[in-house]
Chains A and B, each alone.
Chain A
Amino acid sequence: MTTPNAQTHYSGPAVRQDAVSRTLSVLVDNEPGVLARVIGLFTARGYNIDSLTVTETEHEKHLSRITIVTRGTPSVIQQIKHQLERMVPVHRVHDLTVEGKAVERELALVKVAGKGDKRIEALRLAEIFRAQVIDTSIEHFVFEITGKPSKIETFINIMTELGLVEVSRSGIAAIGRGPQGM
């Protein structure tokens, strides 16, 4: 229940629902400003963006795929979907989380600096996580790691102890399971 506020005529927030995390895949025409439109919608309407990736995926048709991980109540998620769908350059919006377990992967580049035991331990752990060394000197490594966001999160947490310098992450790329496309 909301409490009526005697100072304003605007109604209070609606009944609270629990927020859920959803991965949306948005197929758009790759035209100037399309990303600004999508991001502008999220900021203007107060929606969250936890992760966002975008690249042209079908060059001959000039189609880009935007993958957005967002968080909100089910009714907010529904609104986000409808608001995206009514944008002129948007072809389709799919809620991958709802439509069946989607495959989600992320890539991270992780720079770790250190000497001696810590350096050896970092390399040993990288092997366990199947991270590749893509740049090195006698006092640093740059690891390339791909996987579920949770795996990357864990890897980064461990590396914090071992001389983590910086991280660059791609954001989440996601795709539905099974033979059909979106």
Chain B
Amino acid sequence: MARQMTGAEIVLKALADQGVEYIFGYPGGAVLPIYDEIFQQEKIKHILVRQEGGALHAAEGYARSTGKVGVALVTSGPGATNAVTGLTDALLDSIPVVCLTGQVPTHLIGNDAFQECDTVGITRPCTKHNWLVKNVNDLARTLHEAFQIARSGRPGPVVVDIPKDVQFGTGNYVGPSNIVHKTYKPKVKPDQGPVRQAVELIASAKKPIFYTGGGVINSGPKASQLLRELVRLTGYPITSTLMGLGAYPGSDKQWLGMLGMHGTYEANMAMHDCDVMVAVGARFDDRITGRLDAFSPGSKKIHIDIDPSSINKNVQVDIPVVGDVAYVLEDMLRTWKSLAPQVDKAALKSWWKEIDGWRAKRSLAYKASKDVIMPQYACQRLYELTKDRDTYITTEVGQHQMWAAQFYHFDEPNRWMTSGGLGTMGYGLPAAIGAQLAHPKSLVIDIAGDASILMNIQECSTAVQFNLPVKVFILNNEYMGMVRQWQQLLHGNRLSHSYTESLPDFVKLAEAYGWKGMRCDHPSDLDDAIREMIAFKGPVLFDCRVAKLANCFPMIPSGKAHNEMLLGEEVSDEEVGRAIGKEGKVLV
């Protein structure tokens, strides 16, 4: 039976029926009726952020660390436009987020009313789908549909724009079970033909590699489990994109480390030289492929993806398998077991030998220092001192993000939250807040840079208000490190505006927000300082002063292929600095 309610009541009822625990939001004129409803109920907890951008990233962090849908609530106009970055971020990384936006009353739409903007127009290209609800009787159905679309298929962000008069109006409520969508039916189960072909090709490989991505994480914990089973069954090497870290244990011997621009030498060389590539929930992004026409030239490629538009988009593949990773891997495992193929053990052995040769290059090696904290060393120590705990890591964007990906090893999925596709500086702190809410007893650390952290520093207040003991570990080199590195490598070391002058005193800043502030600038003090940070019950801003000019290596240089990596240890900071000019430009 349909029940009569106000639009605002319908919103809260629909959220509750969808199992929502937290919404991240910021009030304003056009959402006041919904906020009034929030005030009068206790089921759903509202987390007040300090800027709408923070609400979206917090919802992403919550979603990514739990596998559930993250929910944000913002007002019309600037509330909605501030949400755009987070929506785009969620779209590129396929994170399920439902964003509710207030809108001016329907009769004022198009009149340039106060705090009016064309929210559905602005967010159309940065959402999976969006709706403007003009009739209160459509509201409940639309909200349930929004959740369904956000979480199913290739997940993504959706926006439901709700005019204020619709929030006040009275209409019928329908529950989630009655919703069947007319057109939206993503294909999750694969066809058996390609599955069998894929298994046969995998079995016949002499130099195979698994290349996995964020799709494995999105598919859920079962997908990671099945992936591990398949990889161990075959004995083949595996690498992953930035977004896929944790699907396969980073401490395992078949694990080659991350691939791509700042991936390991062995992962990239193996990708280049393989004869069969199994792409699982990965999308051949340009940071992965490097030079496209030299990308893994000799291999047959299998591509498992839930989104048919990802297939053959950048790289032509031989066997596309459309479906949800978990379903596909389940079918592949079953087919593998029933066919019981004989893998070429001798070929595999010599392939591993080749890989071990590349591993021996120790591409992540860096010049250790007794006097200054090397950023890589800081990440290593953070990993060693937290790996046995229940830890979630988020990052901002830049060098620190790559070092975290290289030196922090994840053994479980959903433990690593980072802005991969969009590369949004300012993502890490709000994402940590979202993750900490979902896992109040866990240790949540945002590995940050000194520039990125300032982009959403206001969220420190949110952490204090809701007693969230997040730790922010800033690798402070006083530069926008990645920008500086590229200027050094590509633009003659002309460091145009990449020095972050007038940085705040992070310890005092922390204290001003009610956080604990810490500073460490010597390698010998680092372990104790990290322990102190972990032991502290509340939020900590840790200003880790690191070597200023360290570069992130290894690196696939501009316009180069996987087998033309620039290794770090061969080039010291000073040498890179001196290599600038004509020779440096030729080098990269």
A1 to B286, CA, bound (A): 17
Q: Which A-chain residue is minimally distant from B310 (CB atoms)?
A: A82
In the complex the two chains form, is A2's CB within 8 Å of B293's CB?
Answer: yes
Q: Which residues of A contact B182 (CB under 8 A)?
A: 29, 91
In the complex the two chains form, is A6's CB within 8 Å of B588's CB?
Answer: yes
Q: Which residues of A contact B120 (CB under 8 A)?
A: 33
Q: Is B196 an interface residue (CB 8 A)?
A: no
A2 to B430, CA, bound (A): 41
In the complex the two chains form, is B183's CB within 8 Å of A11's CB?
Answer: no
Q: Is A4 an interface residue (CB 8 A)?
A: yes
Q: Is B559 an interface residue (CB 8 A)?
A: yes
Q: Which residues of A contact B261 (CB under 8 A)?
A: 9
Q: Is B301 an interface residue (CB 8 A)?
A: no
Partner of B129, one of A8, A40, A88: A88
In the complex the two chains form, is B128's CB within 8 Å of A88's CB?
Answer: yes
Partner of A36, one of B121, B287, B289: B121
In the complex the two chains form, is A7's CB within 8 Å of B490's CB?
Answer: yes
Q: Which residues of A contact B287 (CB under 8 A)?
A: 9
The verdict on A40 contacting B125 (CB below 8 Å), with A85-B308, A88-B184 known, is yes
A95 to B121, CA, bound (A): 28
Q: Is A147 an interface residue (CB 8 A)?
A: no
Q: Which of B270-328 contact A (CB under 8 A)?
A: 286-287, 289-293, 307-309, 311-314, 316
Q: Which residues of B contact A86 (CB under 8 A)?
A: 154, 307-309
Q: Which A-chain residue is minimally distant from B564 (CB atoms)?
A: A4
The verdict on A6 contacting B307 (CB below 8 Å), with A12-B292, A33-B120 known, is no
Interface size class of A (residues with CB under 8 A): 20 to 34
The verdict on A6 contacting B309 (CB below 8 Å), with A11-B291, A14-B293, A88-B129 known, is no
The verdict on A14 contacting B292 (CB below 8 Å), with A78-B312, A82-B309 known, is yes
Q: Which residues of A contact B524 (CB under 8 A)?
A: none
In the complex the two chains form, is A4's CB within 8 Å of B560's CB?
Answer: yes
Q: Which residues of B contact A32 (CB under 8 A)?
A: 132
Minimum distance in angstroms from B538 CB to a CB of chain A: 40
Q: Mark A1-43, 1 if CB is under 8 A from B, else 0.
A: 1111111111110110000000000000100110011001000
Q: Mark B123-141, 1 if CB is under 8 A from A, else 0.
A: 0110011001000000000
Partner of B124, one of A5, A12, A33: A33
Partner of A37, one of B124, B307, B585: B124
In the complex the two chains form, is A12's CB within 8 Å of B559's CB?
Answer: yes
Q: Is the interface of A mostly helix, strand, loop or mixed?
A: loop
Best-buried of B289, B308, B312, B314 by chain A (most CB within 10 Å): B308
Q: Which residues of A contact B183 (CB under 8 A)?
A: 29, 88-91
Q: Is B541 an interface residue (CB 8 A)?
A: no
Q: Is the interface of B mostly helix, strand, loop or mixed?
A: loop
Q: Is B558 an interface residue (CB 8 A)?
A: yes
In the complex the two chains form, is B558's CB within 8 Å of A5's CB?
Answer: yes
Minimum distance in angstroms from A145 CB to a CB of chain B: 36
A4 to B490, CA, bound (A): 14
In the complex the two chains form, is B309's CB within 8 Å of A11's CB?
Answer: no
Minimum distance in angstroms from A54 CB to a CB of chain B: 17
A15 to B294, CA, bound (A): 11
Q: Which of B136-189 contact A (CB under 8 A)?
A: 149, 154, 181-184
Q: Which B-chain residue is minimally distant from A87 (CB atoms)?
A: B129
A90 to B186, CA, bound (A): 12
Best-buried of A5, A7, A90 by chain B (most CB within 10 Å): A7
Q: Which residues of A contact B316 (CB under 8 A)?
A: 75
Partner of A11, one of B184, B290, B311, B312: B290
Q: Mark B54-80, 1 if CB is under 8 A from A, else 0.
A: 000000000000000000000000000
Q: Which residues of A contact B184 (CB under 8 A)?
A: 88
Q: Which residues of A contact B560 (CB under 8 A)?
A: 4
Q: Which B-chain residue is minimally distant from A78 (CB atoms)?
A: B312
In the complex the two chains form, is A11's CB within 8 Å of B308's CB?
Answer: no
Minimum distance in angstroms from B120 CB to a CB of chain A: 6
Q: Is A83 an interface residue (CB 8 A)?
A: yes
In the complex the two chains form, is A10's CB within 8 Å of B286's CB?
Answer: yes
In the complex the two chains form, is B291's CB within 8 Å of A2's CB?
Answer: yes
Q: Which of A45-91 contact B (CB under 8 A)?
A: 75, 78-79, 82-83, 85-91
Q: Which of B547-574 contact A (CB under 8 A)?
A: 556-560
Q: Which A-chain residue is minimally distant from B129 (CB atoms)?
A: A88
Q: Is A44 an interface residue (CB 8 A)?
A: yes
A82 to B557, CA, bound (A): 32
Q: Which residues of B contact A29 (CB under 8 A)?
A: 182-183
In the complex the two chains form, is A4's CB within 8 Å of B124's CB?
Answer: no
Partner of B292, one of A11, A78, A87, A91: A11
In the complex the two chains form, is A11's CB within 8 Å of B286's CB?
Answer: yes
Q: Which residues of A contact B586 (CB under 8 A)?
A: 6
Minimum distance in angstroms from B322 CB to a CB of chain A: 10
A175 to B149, CA, bound (A): 31
Q: Which B-chain residue is minimally distant from A90 (CB atoms)?
A: B183
In the complex the two chains form, is B309's CB within 8 Å of A4's CB?
Answer: no
In the complex the two chains form, is A75's CB within 8 Å of B312's CB?
Answer: yes
A73 to B567, CA, bound (A): 38
Partner of A44, one of B125, B132, B309: B125
Q: Which residues of B contact A1 (CB under 8 A)?
A: 293
In the complex the two chains form, is A88's CB within 8 Å of B312's CB?
Answer: no
Q: Which residues of B contact A8 (CB under 8 A)?
A: 490, 558-559
The verdict on A2 contacting B558 (CB below 8 Å), with A10-B286, A75-B312 known, is no
A89 to B149, CA, bound (A): 12
Q: Which A-chain residue is minimally distant from B307 (CB atoms)?
A: A86
In the complex the two chains form, is B132's CB within 8 Å of A4's CB?
Answer: no
A40 to B560, CA, bound (A): 33
Minimum distance in angstroms from B501 CB to a CB of chain A: 27
Q: Which residues of B contact A2 (CB under 8 A)?
A: 291-293
In the complex the two chains form, is B124's CB within 8 Å of A11's CB?
Answer: no
A87 to B186, CA, bound (A): 11
In the complex the two chains form, is B149's CB within 8 Å of A88's CB?
Answer: yes
Q: Which of B527-558 contact A (CB under 8 A)?
A: 556-558
Minimum distance in angstroms from A25 CB to a CB of chain B: 15
Q: Which A-chain residue is minimally distant from B184 (CB atoms)?
A: A88
A7 to B489, CA, bound (A): 9
- Can you list 22 A-B contacts (CB < 8 A)? A3-B559, A6-B559, A7-B490, A9-B261, A9-B287, A9-B559, A10-B286, A11-B291, A12-B292, A14-B314, A29-B182, A33-B124, A33-B132, A44-B125, A75-B312, A79-B312, A79-B313, A83-B309, A88-B128, A88-B183, A88-B184, A90-B183
Q: Which residues of B contact A (CB under 8 A)?
A: 120-121, 124-125, 128-129, 132, 149, 154, 181-184, 261, 286-287, 289-293, 307-309, 311-314, 316, 490, 556-560, 585-586, 588
Sorted nearest first, the 6 A-B pairs with minimum C-beta distance are A4-B559, A82-B309, A88-B129, A11-B292, A82-B308, A5-B559
Given A6-B586, A14-B292, 9 other A-B contacts at CB below 8 A? A2-B292, A6-B490, A8-B558, A9-B286, A36-B124, A75-B312, A83-B309, A86-B307, A88-B183
